[in-house]
A = this chain, B = another copy of it.
């Protein structure tokens, strides 16, 4: 005898049916957030796969025009590099009062690209659910992906507060906590909490793969010593991540510079045998994990519960 699930929107269109898009369709359907949910993807193969999935939550349109028809919320869930091109096709077809949104991992460049394309009476409310797995495609999504996670909204200047509030409510109904901040601050925060970790993981997996003295098979066999933890995020979608780095260049290079300065200092500590300096750092970092577990953003099971 659950609470009546009120629809927040008449028709939600999700464009891009990868991990995030296909989690959105499932979650919106599960929560009864819209009278109708409809999905579209540029790839006919993805559309075919999605249409064949029993729990997908949305009907699949066969054109951009038909997915947008009558939509009052349109969510772009495509790689950041494709966002501008998509918005150029989508924006002219939106009716006044429709809300355009997204889920991209960078916000500044997307706002610069999309806002000039909007017709009168159509608002763009940029969003970023800080959630994901290393898998891709319409079969990878699941309804609970956003539950217990944070969603960051970076409202565009001049957007009526009740429009922003509708999008905030949408994400809260999907189980997320919502935080609002400027696009610039978002891009710096995500540079350190997400983009640089991914860059570092990609780098170390690449470095290990290129060694002459240690074979790939040895790297794989002995990966339980720490390496394997990095390989998960280094298995993340290559196109999505290529676009993230291309579109958050300034913040990423800034954070990378700091990372490298600190790493050089660690290198010096090792070379010079400064063991106390090492022990002090390692003691400090242990406390940070405890905080993440306590903030409900991580399991407390040893070894991630593996």
Contact partner, A241, options B105, B135, B278, Cβ 8 Å: B278
A residues 66-125 touching B (CB-CB < 8 Å): 81, 105
Contact partner, A278, options B196, B197, B211, B245, Cβ 8 Å: B245
Interface size class of A (residues with CB under 8 A): 35 or more
Q: Which of A52-60, A158-166, A285-293 contacts B (4 or more CB under 8 A)?
A: A285-293
Chain B residues with CB under 8 Å of A282's CB are 202, 234, 236-238, 241-242
A residues 238-259 touching B (CB-CB < 8 Å): 238-239, 241-243, 245-246, 249, 252-253, 255-256, 258-259
Q: Does A179 contact B (CB under 8 A)?
A: yes
Contact partner, A134, options B135, B271, B303, Cβ 8 Å: B303
Contact partner, A235, options B150, B205, B286, Cβ 8 Å: B286
Contact partner, A270, options B216, B245, B295, Cβ 8 Å: B245
Over the window 181-194 of chain A, the binary record of Cβ atoms lying under 8 Å from chain B Cβ atoms (1 yes, 0 no) is 00001001110111
Q: Which of A9-17, A28-36, A43-51, A217-225 contacts B (4 or more CB under 8 A)?
A: A217-225
Min Cβ gap A212→B in Å is 10
Chain B residues with CB under 8 Å of A132's CB are 225
Secondary structure at the A interface, as helix, strand, loop or mixed, is helix
Q: Does A214 contact B (CB under 8 A)?
A: yes
A286–B234 CB distance below 8 A = yes
In the complex, A253→B302 CA distance in Å? 29
Q: Does A131 contact B (CB under 8 A)?
A: yes
- The answer to whether A295 and B193 touch (CB under 8 A), given A188-B214, A285-B202, is no
A residues 257-306 touching B (CB-CB < 8 Å): 258-260, 262-263, 266-267, 270-271, 273, 275, 278-279, 281-286, 288-292, 295, 297-299, 302-306
A288–B234 CB distance below 8 A = yes
Q: Does A229 contact B (CB under 8 A)?
A: yes
Q: Does A6 contact B (CB under 8 A)?
A: no
B134–A302 CB distance below 8 A = yes
Q: Does A157 contact B (CB under 8 A)?
A: no
A226–B220 CB distance below 8 A = no
Contact partner, A262, options B134, B207, B218, B256, Cβ 8 Å: B207
Contact partner, A197, options B197, B227, B304, Cβ 8 Å: B227
Contact partner, A192, options B227, B228, B255, Cβ 8 Å: B227
B238–A283 CB distance below 8 A = yes
- Kindly report which residue of chain B lies nearest to residue A273, judged by CB atoms: B246
Q: Does A198 contact B (CB under 8 A)?
A: yes
Min Cβ gap A242→B in Å is 4
Can you list 6 pairs linking A and B with CB atoms under 8 Å apart? Answer: A135-B302, A193-B219, A194-B227, A205-B285, A224-B298, A235-B290
